[in-house]
Amino acid sequence: MLIGAFTGVAAGMLGIGGGLIIVPFSLIVFEMLGANNSTAIPYAYQAHIAIATSLATIIFTALSSIYSQQRKSAIDWALFKLLTPGIITGAFLGAWIATYIPRMPLLIVFASFILMVGFKMWFGWSPHMRRPFPGWLGMNLVAVIIGSFSSLVGIGGGTMTVPFINRGKITIQKAVAVSSALGLPIAVAGSLGFLWSSYQQPFFQSMQDTVVLLI
């Protein structure tokens, strides 16, 4: 409950989905439960369940963000509709791929992503060259990449979506609004991807019950 409350406050203050908070803190809790506790989560499942749970909770933060942004009429729904098919495809694909990656390599991917985001923020790296968006195929290819990587690490995708949209001659306010809206299809498709994979693989057959319990 404390993790959820802290994540909710951070989401409201910083406009994030919460994945960068939920995943590492969930892993800490899993370790604290201990192997001999009846509620303990098997070691091999921990990273996958933390990421899948993070995506499921982002559904609620994304809905809240959409409501807030729509009240200001800040969401470019035409751009949202253009990117959504690729986002959904990529998010489902990323979740499916994640279930085949062992715990430690998956955590390395997550940690590497956090380091990359940290360096970007610390050094203020941002796109300076503005250029028109690519065509339909290019836009959906980028959307697939954003969606797949977001569900792979359990985030709403804002750290990638906002710079991409902002570089396309869209104001940062509009970019944040569209990114907030795109967090919903990422979270839904990613959660369904993990759920579907858990039914397909005996190794993950119990995962969906644990994710629901944690939510």
For residue 194, give every residue at least 6 positions away whose Cβ sits within 8 Å of its Cβ, in sequence order, or none: 48, 51, 52, 55, 95, 98, 99, 151, 207, 208, 211
Quote the pLDDT of residue 143. 94
Quote the pLDDT of residue 133. 81
pLDDT band at 189 (very low <50, low <70, confident <90, very high): very high
For residue 36, give every residue at least 6 positions away whose Cβ sits within 8 Å of its Cβ, in sequence order, or none: none
Hey, how many other C-beta atoms are within 10 angstroms of the C-beta on 35?
9
Greater confidence (184 vs 213) lies with 184
Cα gap 107→172, rounded to integer Å: 31
Nearest to 125 by CA among 88, 160, 91, 154: 160
Q: Kindly state the DSSP code that residue 101 receives in the 8-state scheme.
A: S
Cα gap 34→49, rounded to integer Å: 16
Percent over 70 (pLDDT), the chain: 82
What tens digit of pLDDT does each residue of 96-134 get?
A: 999 888 889 999 999 998 888 788 777 766 656 667 788
